[in-house]
Every structure is written in structure tokens, then in C-alpha cells.
Chain A
Amino acid sequence: MSAAVKPGLVADSVKDAAIAALLVAVLGFFFFALRTDIGTGGLDLTYRWGLWFIAIAIAFGGRLLLNLFVFKTAKPITGGMSISIPEGVKSGIGRVLGPVLLLIALTLPFIVMAVYPDRDRQFIDLAILIMTYVMLGWGLNIVVGLAGLLDLGYVAFYAVGAYSFALLAQYFQIGFWTALPLAGLLAAVWGIILGYPVLRLRGDYLAIVTLAFGEIIRVVLLNWYEFTGGPDGISGIPKPSFFGLDFSRTGGFAEFFGLDYDSIHRFIYLYYIILILALITNFVTLRLRKLPIGRAWEALREDEIACRSLGINTTNTKLTAFSIGAMFGGLAGSFFATRQGFISPESFTFLESAIILAIVVLGGLGSQIGVVIASVVMIGGIEILRNLGFLKEIFGPDFEPTQYRMLIFGLAMVLIMVWKPRGIISSRNPSAVYKERKKISSDMVAQGEGH
């Protein structure tokens, strides 16, 4: 460090830090220094100079250190932080990562039961939740990652799938396995109905209108009280049976196979259902990518006008992407309904769309493994925060880590976007090869509409 000190480095850094501190002082004055409480006969004003000074000091100190060691120095210490994995190792990891993750996913319930016998239910439930998001991420990846259509209302199809099953069960006593394909079909039809007017729009307009459609579906579910139960939701949604066997205490799955009844059986069963649904999504997506339709989606993301000059009906191509994505959203939705046993419009807010989109974007647009990693990190991360009991010992008993999850979420997202602006897995695999398979760096890949 001492050798690399440039003349004026310290002076510059201090000046810059002082400016930052001044900004904090001004901005923070009303937020930190003054506090108003409702008191008798008006507002009570309290001063919190200590807090204000601490904020200023943090800004000054932090900015100074960053200047000295990162921003202004010739040799930033973050230089060593960008890990450079040699190309051979990287492609090696790339090749084994998929199968290894698949193997873990296939055996997960038994690993969990062996390692955490006392908390297995909780962990398998978490795995089911993560897997649901993996499936949703994969479904949305078709629309956003491949076809490049920014859909901010994907949760609408999740809701359509969930309510389709719930209502079919309520009004016609239809079981999960019959309702599942119907729900997928209904969601796909909704995808076409919503997509037809929406997909004429481009760019930001497309994003905003999909967002609005997502909200419209939720508001309709909320207000159509006679049909959907409105805010009360629908309860008593049937559980899936195993070839006609229920997971009940008597006369069900356990008795038939001569096992002792254990409620964990149902959790494991649910886990495998969502695993298979997700794997089907993945399989179909990977196949479609190598077929003309998938290639047309990617071409659409790259250049719509060129597509039309080559005779591709872009409206239909977009609609297929939209409706296939919607179908997988619908399937995931009806799984969600059966897992919860109860649904209400509250589960289908815009936040849900945002989380799924964040998973796709953080994972790397168009990357299947990226979606898995992002789901595990994001959904698993939120759950881990709930379990960080030791933080209470540091920050006092009032400290509730989950309250900070959105903050940590945002921070993580900013970090990834700085470090890897195109997502965790940011290269594209060509869909057809003449001689040699070469990865395509994401700098060249277009992002499509509205990004």
C-alpha cells in the first residue's frame, strides 16, 4: 500500500469523504436528528443528536476507507476478489453441476431425514417451497429469458392455476390429478387471452400492462365474493392421493404398504410431486430451445424485425412463449393450492411476481441452473434469516432478523448486479452446433423487450 500512495491521495479522499458526510448530515437531519411523536395536545419534538453524529461518522469513515483502498488507489484491494476460475475447471464444473444438483434433489428427503431427524418436516417443507419457485422461475424463464418479453404479471397465471383447482374441487369435487392438467390448460388459455392484446405492445409498455393484468386478476378474485370467496379465500382444498391412497391415519398409504403412519410421508410425497413437475418444466424448456420454436423465441429476443423478414409470425411465436410459460405457472399454482390446503388472493400479490422475476434475472436470463441457484439463495436465504437466533444475543431481544430481510435482499441484489450484471450464469449455449460447441458470452446476447 505505502508504495502505491499517489500524491494527494489522502487529501482527495478526505475531501470526498467530507462531502459525503455533509450530504448525510443534510439528508439525515430530518430523519435522524429530529423525531416527532404524538404527544398530548400536538406533536412532541425530540432531538437525537447522537444518532445523527453516528450516521455522519459512518458515512465519513466508510467513504474514506473506500476511497483509500478501492476507488482512488492504483491497486484496489477488491482486485483479488474477482475470482478467476480457469476455463477448463469452469466448463468441468458446468458439466457436473447439473447432474450433481439433480442427484441431491432426488435424494433430498432421505438426506434430510438422516441428518436432521428432529427437524425433517420443516426442512422438507422448505425444499418444497424452493422447488415451487424453481418451477415458477423456469416457467417465467421461457417468457423473459428466451422470448425476451418482460412479464411483470406472471403471478396471474399462478393464481389462475391455484384457483382453477380450488374451484374445481369446491364445485365439482374434482381431485388433484384430474384438476392438474385442467389448471395448466386454463392458465395457458388465459395466457393467450391476456397475451393477444398485450403482446402488440413493446418495451416498457408491455411490462406495465402485464403488471396491470396481474393486478386485475387478483382484484377480481378479491371482489367476486360469491364465486371465489373474496378475501376469505377457499379452504379445504383436497390433498393429492397416491394412486387412490390417501395419506390418512387409517386405511391409507402407510397401512397399504405396511408402514407405521407418519405425517412425514405426505411431505415427502408432495416434494416428489413438485420435483417431477419442475423437472418436466425443465425438460420441456430444454427440448423446446433446440426446436425451431425455441430458436424463434430467442431470435425474437434478438431482433423482431429481422424475424418478420424471415417469415416468422411473431405474434404467434410470442403467444406460444406466453402461453407455455403461463401453463407451467398454472401447474405450479394448483400444486401450491393442494400443498397449502387454503388459498386467498393475498398469496398472489405483485411481490410474488417480483420475486420470481428476481430469481430469473439474478440467475441469468435464459439459464436453467442459474434459476436453481437463485431460488435456493433467495427463498432459502429468507428462511435462514428466521432462524438466526444468535443475532438476538448480539442486538438484544427486540431484534427481529426477518424484518431486515428486504434490506438484505436488496443489498444482495445490488451486489450481484454490480459483480455480474447479466446474472449468475451469464453465458448462452448455442442450440445447434456445426463442429465445436462454443459458449456465447452474454455481452452479445440481446435482452429483448423492456429491459
Chain B
Amino acid sequence: MENAMKTPPAQTWDDNVVLSVEHLTMRFGGLIAVNDLSFNVGRGDITALIGPNGAGKTTVFNCVTGFYKPTEGRIVMRHGAGLQADKIEALTRTGRQFNDDGDDRVFLLERMPDFEISKRAKVARTFQNIRLFGGMTALENLLVAQHNPLMLASSMTIGGIFNLPGYRKARAEAIDFAAYWLEKTGLIDRADDPAADLPYGDQRRLEIARAMCTKPHLLCLDEPAAGLNPRESTELNNLLQYIRKDHGTSILLIEHDMGVVMEISDHVVVLDYGQKISDGTADQVKNDPKVISAYLGVDEDEVAAVEESIDMPVIHGKTKPAENGEGGQS
């Protein structure tokens, strides 16, 4: 199984890449939170980014979505199919943020400000600690997410003030689109309730619905299953499968819940201390001794011994090794 890691077979996510992170390094003063990290996110895949607490997962997200400027590295987002390597090299040399050719655009995310990444590169995200607009209703939350198209439709507010028909139509469509996602996330009955009033699980789903209202090509979810009960967790799995299948949105998620990760991800990337220690399918990764040792907090050679002495949760799937990881790393 170690061999699988060393000479990786050509995987689908290396052929049809939506996002590639190349040699990403993020330093905070002396602390290296992410160290020379490279991985690909396949188009239409659900890719999981896992690792013990403090491994640097959220930092990777913040770099991808522009909230941090990476110290080094390149992050490429592709809207068109294929690797488009020549185009990307050319773009990198020009110093521009993205090239403007129709549907086949490529974006260098490390050069773009955060709001442009959502607006143009179409990368949406949720947050580890939920960031909803608490005093606004669920519906309003989803309308804020459609700000840019609505701004255009209101001709930068002028047409909106006079309530021109073009704006009225766009507004009705925006409400319909929001209602569609509220329906999908099972929140339609709470559409007119303030977001802060919703139970925790609903808030998590509302945040996903809000991200989807920006019509993203890539959806980044930071621990979407944290704090959910088993039933909500299953619903979340179904929702993510649905988003991937019916909307063709690629998903990159950070998750501690191995049940969720193993069940739905096509591709798993494992981080520890800011470095990639494993990259492959769920099966490959969960049998990788490096991953096991990282999660148990022991050296690689000790893994076999430890495995024998305890009932191995990582190997046997559904239980949560996250707790072990937390205990072991902190």
C-alpha cells in the first residue's frame, strides 16, 4: 500500500483539474502554517482535506479564497476543461490576475482580492465558525449572496430606485432562486425567520445554501458536519451529493468526521503540520501508515504495535478518529 503513494497511478483528479494548489507556503512570522503544499481538486469531485487540529487546513482555505495572501506558491482555478498548461504559464508571466476568453477562463487566485475570487473565479466558501447575517432573514441571507447580478440588474441602483421592470424581474428571479435553495436545504418554512434564530444544524445548511446562491464552480466547506447529529450528518451527505451531481459543482471540504469523509469523498488529501502526508482515494488514505501515525500521534514504526493493542478506528471506518487526533496532537 505504501507503493500506491510513492508511484501514484494517473488519477482522474490529475487530468480534469478545477483547482490546483502548487507549492503553497504560508508563514505567520516564524510559524510555517502551510509548507510547500501541492494538490489538485478534480472537476466534479468531492475532495476532502483532512488532518489533525492545527494542521493548516483552514489556512489553505483562506489562501484559496483570498483571505490570506500566500507567502509563496500558485493557486490556479480553471473554468474550462483540461489542464490548459500553456495558457496558465503565459498568464503567470504577464502579471495579470486572469485571462478573459469566454468560458475557458483561468484564474491565478493568489493575485486576486477575496471578493473578486467569489465574484469572478466563482469559488464560494463557508466558515468553520458559522458566519451568517444573524439579524437578517434566511431569505435575505440568500439575496445578499446574489448581490452582484442584482446590482447589475438594478443598473447600479439607479434603475432600482425607480423600480424599472428589468429590476423587478431580476428581483423576482433572485427570490425564486433563493427559495429553490431553501427548499433543497429544507429551510423553506423558516424563510422569513432571522438566521440567528435557527438551530445550529439549520444554520450550517443555510450557510451552504448561501454559498450556492453565488453559483460557484467550486464550493469550499470548512467542517460542515461539525456539531451535527447523525441524522443531520446523513442529510448533509445527501445535500453534498446532490450539489455535485445536479449542479456539477466541485466540492472541497475540510472534515473531522471520518464517517462523512469516507462515505462521500472521491479524493482525500491529508495534511499534518502544514505538509501533505497522503493523497489518494479514501481507501488508499485510510490504510496509509503515515496517516494513521499522524492521527494517533505516534511514530510511523510504532503504528503496527499500537494497531494491535487497540481496536483501530481509522482502519475500521465509521467511528471517529478525530477525537483521537485531537487528543494526540494537542
- A284-302 vs B, CB cutoff 8 Å, 1 = contact: the mask equals 1001100111011011001
A93 at the interface (CB under 8 A from B): no
Q: Are B191 and A434 in contact (CB under 8 A)?
A: yes
CB within 8 Å for A435 and B191 given contacts A295-B147, A440-B137, A444-B196: yes
B31 at the interface (CB under 8 A from A): no
Q: How far is the CA of A307 from the CA of B119 in the complex (A)?
A: 11
Q: Which of B125, B136, B191 contacts A309 (CB 8 A)?
A: B125
Interface residues on B, range: 35 or more
Q: Are A299 and B144 in contact (CB under 8 A)?
A: yes
Tally of A interface residues using CB under 8 Å: 38
Residues of A within 8 A of B160 (CB): 287, 291-293
Q: Are B118 and A310 in contact (CB under 8 A)?
A: yes
Q: Which of A311, A313, A437, A440 contacts B135 (CB 8 A)?
A: A440
- A147-163 vs B, CB cutoff 8 Å, 1 = contact: the mask equals 00000000000000000
A232 at the interface (CB under 8 A from B): no
Q: Which of B67, B144, B145, B197 contacts A444 (CB 8 A)?
A: B197
Q: How far is the CA of A311 from the CA of B214 in the complex (A)?
A: 8
Q: Which of A296, A442, A445 contacts B147 (CB 8 A)?
A: A296
Residues of A within 8 A of B191 (CB): 434-435
B261 at the interface (CB under 8 A from A): no
Q: Which of A302, A306, A438 contacts B193 (CB 8 A)?
A: A438
Shortest Cβ distance from A435 into B: residue: B192
CB within 8 Å for A303 and B132 given contacts A311-B148, A434-B139, A444-B197: yes
Q: Are B127 and A434 in contact (CB under 8 A)?
A: no
Shortest Cβ distance from A442 into B: residue: B135
Q: How far is the CA of A303 from the CA of B127 in the complex (A)?
A: 12
Residues of B within 8 A of A434 (CB): 137, 139, 175, 178-179, 182, 188, 191-192
A385 at the interface (CB under 8 A from B): no
Spot the interface stretch: A184-192, A410-418, A425-433: A425-433
Q: Are A306 and B192 in contact (CB under 8 A)?
A: no
Q: Which of B133, B182, B211 contacts A298 (CB 8 A)?
A: B133
Q: Are A291 and B115 in contact (CB under 8 A)?
A: no
A314 at the interface (CB under 8 A from B): yes
Q: Are A431 and B140 in contact (CB under 8 A)?
A: yes
B210 at the interface (CB under 8 A from A): yes
Residues of B119-151 at the interface with A, using a CB-CB cut-off of 8 Å, are 119, 124-125, 127, 131-137, 139-140, 143-148, 150-151
Shortest Cβ distance from B141 into A: residue: A299
Residues of A within 8 A of B161 (CB): 284, 287-288, 291
Residues of A311-352 at the interface with B, using a CB-CB cut-off of 8 Å, are 311-314
Residues of B within 8 A of A260 (CB): none
CB within 8 Å for A310 and B192 given contacts A293-B157, A302-B136, A305-B67: no
Residues of A within 8 A of B132 (CB): 303, 306
Residues of B within 8 A of A305 (CB): 67, 127, 131
Q: How far is the CA of A288 from the CA of B118 in the complex (A)?
A: 24
Residues of A within 8 A of B139 (CB): 430, 432-434
Residues of B180-205 at the interface with A, using a CB-CB cut-off of 8 Å, are 182, 188, 191-194, 196-197
Residues of A within 8 A of B196 (CB): 444
Residues of B within 8 A of A293 (CB): 151, 154, 157, 160
Q: Are B135 and A446 in contact (CB under 8 A)?
A: yes
A308 at the interface (CB under 8 A from B): yes
Q: How far is the CA of A43 from the CA of B67 in the complex (A)?
A: 65
Q: How far is the CA of A291 from the CA of B150 in the complex (A)?
A: 8
Q: Which of A292, A303, A440 contacts B194 (CB 8 A)?
A: A440
Shortest Cβ distance from B190 into A: residue: A434
Q: How far is the CA of A306 from the CA of B141 in the complex (A)?
A: 10
B22 at the interface (CB under 8 A from A): no
Residues of A within 8 A of B211 (CB): 309-310
Residues of B within 8 A of A291 (CB): 154, 157, 160-161
Residues of B53-100 at the interface with A, using a CB-CB cut-off of 8 Å, are 65, 67
Residues of A239-291 at the interface with B, using a CB-CB cut-off of 8 Å, are 284, 287-288, 291
Q: Are A306 and B133 in contact (CB under 8 A)?
A: yes
Residues of A within 8 A of B14 (CB): none
Q: Are B115 and A308 in contact (CB under 8 A)?
A: yes
Residues of A within 8 A of B136 (CB): 295, 298-299, 302, 430-431, 440
B36 at the interface (CB under 8 A from A): no
Q: How far is the CA of A122 from the CA of B147 in the complex (A)?
A: 48
A226 at the interface (CB under 8 A from B): no
B266 at the interface (CB under 8 A from A): no
Q: How far is the CA of A306 from the CA of B211 in the complex (A)?
A: 10
20 A-B pairs in the complex with CB atoms less than 8 angstroms apart: A287-B160, A291-B160, A292-B146, A292-B150, A298-B133, A299-B133, A302-B136, A303-B131, A305-B67, A306-B127, A308-B114, A309-B125, A311-B118, A311-B148, A428-B135, A432-B143, A433-B192, A435-B192, A436-B192, A438-B137
User: Interface of A with B (CB < 8 Å)?
Assistant: 284, 287-288, 291-293, 295-296, 298-299, 302-303, 305-314, 428, 430-438, 440-442, 444-446
Other than the given A306-B133, A311-B116, 20 more pairs (CB < 8 A) read A295-B136, A295-B140, A295-B144, A306-B132, A307-B144, A308-B67, A308-B114, A309-B118, A309-B125, A431-B143, A432-B139, A432-B143, A433-B192, A434-B175, A434-B179, A434-B188, A434-B191, A437-B192, A444-B134, A444-B196
